Each structure stands twice: as structure tokens, then as C-alpha cells.
Amino acid sequence: MAHAEFDEVMVELVDYAYERTTFDNETLRLARYCLLDSIGCAIAASADHDCLKLMGSAQFSKSQAGVPVVGTGLRLGPIEAAFHIGSMIRWLEFNDTWLAQEWGHPSDNLGAILAAATWHSLTDGNQPPADMTAVLNTMIRAYEIHGVLCLSNCFNALGIDHVVLVKVASAIASAQLLGLSKDQALSALSNAIIDGHSLRTYRHAPNAGTRKSWAAGDATARGLQLALFAQTGEMGYPTALTVSRWGFNDAVLRGKPFNLSRNLSDFVIKNILFKVPNPAEYHAQTAVEAAINLRERILAAGFTPESIEYVRVETTRPAIQIIDKSGPLNNSADRDHCLQYMVAVGLQTGNLTIKDFHEPLASDPQLDALRLKITCTERPSFTESYYDPDKRAIPNALYLKCHGMTEEISETIEYPLGHVRRREECFGALLTKFHLNLSDSPLRDRAHILAETLISESKLDAMSVTDLLKMFSWD
């Protein structure tokens, strides 16, 4: 076959996407909940001030014939639609997560998936609109490609943002949904690989900022754009990974191979991590849960958050790298990537919500004083269980002492609510979260019907993707 000249890994990725056509009922059930959660996160973001400002950039290309953007009245061309849907899903740091050597959020790919499927339905008059069964199956495959590539390919150590993998997975998924051939999909994929890739600097002090909220939208839109290029016959680059000096392996990975560490199946979506109780960066999920539990304990013992003398957090090496932060916090992006801030909010308020990353709480002097009492250290055994493929734990241990206490108290949580080891607990909580995400939206009065549709095989799977997006948008 013509595509056999392409690098082996690229061929394997495309062959999987095009040849793995069916999944079991449990996998499809999880895909529906992933879709429910992602759309809910997008709609919640539509009320965020910074997100709304960015959405304003699309006003010039509104079109009634375009792709509906969930949570808005926008109808856009496919690339802009993918950008905005992807950005909204990611904006509030509340969408699903995958943690390994590389970190990522497979739902980031839904911008391209929904836009590509809808655009193909709008422009191909010879075919009926794509149904949600096709979209769900493509979702599962995109999750798998994205997540398996995270297992043994580490970009963060090189200063490169994990959205490089969004581009890769979105390019393949878009090609498939646009009805392209395998060779065209390889063209899109190879162009995604040789593209310029974002630096992680906008995720870390002193440059943490809102780009981390739209970087995934940018990447998923680019993946779709490269698939649209391939649709026109644009060429691919067979040895984009392996060619000496100029290839991805040498130029980006510093001589290491871009590889697949396991066979592609449905492993990722079956083990996906949901952010259920709070919008904390995932490495802090168990720390916030532990902080809320400790707050209840100190109040029951007659103490207050103001009486806390110190808090020690023992955590994983990735948590230290990403969210152990001191000094001024300049914006919400800074705060939602600061373990100390999130733990302090949990201790002070007994909760952590999207609004807690903004004023007035952000400048509360009592909260800031509490944050300064919190220190973080790595516990090597936690890091080991984090990377253990049989555990994939996200553990945190909090040790706290109040003035007047004779000894410190502690709380250790290994697995957050959205972890596969606590899966059955989280389905009802995901529905509650969906309703909360729609509570400030014009769709709030229909939230029950919308949720029921999204998790129902009989209602969702036969629905067209265009009808689904129309349900979640307005004129």
C-alpha cells in the first residue's frame, strides 16, 4: 500500500483509527459521560469574562450556515468553531484528564471532532448527517491515541506543552470524520508532527496566563485545518518522525523515539480521570478533598481555619513541578495552578468552585495568610504509585496543626472521586456537576432533558451531530 512508506508509528495510529470500528457497551457508556461532562464544562465557560472576551474574536465570521458553537449563538466556519468549542471545554480546568509521563486532557479533541463531523454533514449533500454513534466511536479512538502517546512520550521535560498531542489526535480524528482516505490522514498527521509546538511557559510562573485555557482549542483547530488541507490533496511527509537531524525524534525529542508503549484499544477512555467535585488542577484533587475533610475535623474539635499553625503537604513529583507555587498570584490561571491556594480555599471555605479563583476571594488577606502556612514536599512512594500502571494513583497527604493542639492531625487520599478505582461513585456526581455547569446558562431550565439525552443510548446514538449541537446553542 502507498502509505507503507510512512514511519511505522504514523501508520499504526492511522490504521487503528480507520480499522477499529466497534467498542463494547461500557466503553460507549463512558464516552457518553465524557461528552456530557465536556459540553457542561464548555457551557459553564461561556459565562466566564475572559472566555467571553476571546469569543468576541469570532464575531466577524458568523454564518448561519456554519457550525453551531455550544453555549453560544455563534455559527462559525469549521476551524474557528473547533477553536472555540475546544477552548471552552478546556477554559475552566474542569474537563477530563489523563496523567502519565505526559499529562493531557483527551476531551480537548472534541473541538475538532464536533466541528469536523458537523462541517462534513453541512457540506456533503450526498450523505446523511453524521450520527452520534460515529462521533462517539471517533471520540474513543481520539482518546486512545492521545492517551497512549502520553504513556511514554514526555514533552513537559523538554519545555513543550502537551497540546502537541491534541494536534496529532485531532488531525487523525478530523480526517476520518471528513471521509478522507488513509493516505490523506497520514498527510494530515505528518503535517501535525512537523508543525511548530507550543512552549509550556504560559502554564508556569512568572508567565502563567489564560493561553493555557485556549492552547487546546488552538491545537484541535490546527489538527482540523491540516485535515482540510489534506482533503485538497496537500502532500504528507513520510519520515517526519525518523529522518536524521530534521525529524521530530531528533529535533524535538532530542534523539528519543516517538513511540507507542501498548497496543491501541479502548484503554484510555476506560481509565479516564474525571474532575468531579472541584475544578482543581488534577494533581491537587485529592489534596483539596483532604483539606475539606480536615476542615470538618478541626471545626468539630473547636478550632477554626484562622487558628491553623501550619499545613504540610506530601505529594508527587509532578505536583511539585506543576503546582507547588509561592509568591504573588497574578490571575485565575496562576491560582488554579497553585496547590497552596487550592488547599487554602478548601480549608477556609469547605469547598472549591470556579468562582473561588477570582475576586473577591482572591484578595482575601485571611486566605493569603493561610496560603503562606502551607508547604509542599515530595513523598517518593507517592511518585512511584503515580507512575505505577496498575495504580495510577494521585495521592496527597496533608498534615495540619492548630495553635492549641497537642499533636498534628493528618488526612491521606490516594484516589480522587473521578478515578477509575472510584468510578461508580462518580456517575451521579457527574450529573450533579452538569446541572451546576448549566445553572447560569439560558439552558438551565432544560438541563434535565439535555442530560438525559446525552447519557441515553436510545436517544443520543441515532441523533445527528448537527441536531445535538443545535440543542446546546441558541440564536
Same domain, residue pair 258 and 317: no
Same domain, residue pair 252 and 287: no
Same domain, residue pair 22 and 107: yes
Same domain, residue pair 289 and 261: no
Please say whether the beta carbons of 215 and 89 come within 8 A: no
User: Within 10 Å of residue 2's Cβ, how many Cβ atoms?
Assistant: 10
Domain termination residue (choose one: 416, 447, 467) = 416
C-alpha cell, 273? 480521570
Same domain, residue pair 240 and 301: no
Residue 257 DSSP label: P
Q: What pLDDT was estimated at residue 198?
A: 96
Please name the residues in contact with 174: beta carbons below 8 A apart, sequence gap of 6 or more. 112, 113, 116, 188, 223, 224, 226, 227, 228
- 468 found inside a domain: no
3-state secondary structure 390-438: CCCCCCEEEEEEECCCCCCEEEEECCCCCCHHHHHHHHHHHHHHHHHHC
- 392 found inside a domain: yes
Same domain, residue pair 221 and 339: no
- 459 found inside a domain: no
Domain termination residue (choose one: 396, 416, 436) = 416
DSSP 88-129: HHHHTS-S-BEESSSEE-GGGGHHHHHHHHHHHHHH-TTSPP
How much is the mean pLDDT over the chain?
Answer: 95
Cα(315)–Cα(412) distance, integer angstroms = 10
The β-bridge partners of 313 are 376, 398
Please say whether the beta carbons of 310 and 401 come within 8 A: yes
Same domain, residue pair 294 and 405: yes
Could you state, in chain order, the average pLDDT of each consecutive group of 10 residues for the chain (475 residues)? 77 97 95 98 93 82 81 93 97 94 96 97 85 97 98 95 98 97 98 96 92 97 98 98 98 96 96 93 96 98 97 97 94 94 98 94 96 98 94 96 97 96 93 95 95 97 94 85
Q: What pLDDT was estimated at residue 261?
A: 92
Strand 308-315 relative to strand 75-76: parallel, antiparallel, unpaired? unpaired
Cα(345)–Cα(359) distance, integer angstroms = 13
Three-state SS for 370? helix
Same domain, residue pair 188 and 252: yes
User: Within 10 Å of residue 344's Cβ, how many Cβ atoms?
Assistant: 28
Phi-psi region of 342 (alpha: psi -120 to 50; beta: other; left: phi over 0): alpha
Cα separation of the two ends of the chain: 47
Same domain, residue pair 243 and 94: yes
Q: What pLDDT was estimated at residue 127?
A: 80
Would you call 5 exposed, middle or buried from its count of C-beta atoms within 10 A (0-12, 13-18, 19+)?
A: exposed
Q: What pLDDT was estimated at residue 146?
A: 98
Amino acid at the residue 15:
D
Same domain, residue pair 252 and 304: no
Please say whether the beta carbons of 396 and 313 come within 8 A: yes
CATH of the domain at 36: 1.10.4100.10
User: For 281-293, how does the pLDDT look when each residue is reduced to its tens digit (9 = 90+)?
Assistant: 999 999 999 999 9
User: CA torsion, points 106, 107, 109, 115, in degrees to nearest 10?
Assistant: 170
Nearest CA to 419 among 459, 448, 392, 446?
392
User: For 40-80, how does the pLDDT look when each residue is reduced to its tens digit (9 = 90+)?
Assistant: 999 999 989 889 999 888 765 666 689 999 999 899 999 99
Instruction: Supply φ then ψ for residue 383, to 5 degrees.
Output: -65, -40
The β-bridge partners of 312 are 375, 399
Please say whether the beta carbons of 32 and 460 come within 8 A: yes
- 432 found inside a domain: no
Scan for cell 490533496, then name that residue: 233
Same domain, residue pair 171 and 289: no
Q: How many domains does the chain have?
A: 2
Please say whether the beta carbons of 193 and 18 come within 8 A: no
- 424 found inside a domain: no
- 437 found inside a domain: no
Domain termination residue (choose one: 270, 292, 312) = 270
Domain of 16 in residue numbering reads as 2-270
- 379 found inside a domain: yes
Overall pTM > 0.75: yes
Q: What pLDDT was estimated at residue 2?
A: 47
CATH of the domain at 404: 3.30.1330.120
Q: What pLDDT was estimated at residue 62?
A: 63
Same domain, residue pair 105 and 37: yes
- 433 found inside a domain: no
